[in-house]
């Protein structure tokens, strides 16, 4: 295999960031709003706060530290 063939096989495809929502089990809902003044949840992920995967992980950790409640990062799929 020559260099040209080798570089062609090493091409990668960058994936689009995954859109996610945060599930708050203690409140039985999806996070809609989170601020120093309070937290609100909704019953459907369509109305929830949509975050990219990396931002959702940071928000979930911050939420846990500030409220003591766990937040699960769940994928959100849109069907078009």
pLDDT digits (tens, 9 = 90+) for 2-28: 555 555 566 777 778 899 999 999 999
Helix and strand numbers (H, E) in the chain are 2, 5
pLDDT digits (tens, 9 = 90+) for 16-64: 889 999 999 999 999 999 888 889 999 999 999 999 999 999 999 999 9
Residue-range domain boundaries for the chain: 17-75
pLDDT of residue 9: 63
| Mean pLDDT of all residues in 66-78 | 93
What dihedral angle (degrees, nearest 10) is formed by the CA atoms of 33, 34, 38, 39?
Answer: 60
Calpha distance 27→15 (Å, rounded): 32
Minimal CA–CA distance to 41: which of 80, 17, 18, 72? 72
**Global pTM value:** 0.77
């Amino acid at each position: 295999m020559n260099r040209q063939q080798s570089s062609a096989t090493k091409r990668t495809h960058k994936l689009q960031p995954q859109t996610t929502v945060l599930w708050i089990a203690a409140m039985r809902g999806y996070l809609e709003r989170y601020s120093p003044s309070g937290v609100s949840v909704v019953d459907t992920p369509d109305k929830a706060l949509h975050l990219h995967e990396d931002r959702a992980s940071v928000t979930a950790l911050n939420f846990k530290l500030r409220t003591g409640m766990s937040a699960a990062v769940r994928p959100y799929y849109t069907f078009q």
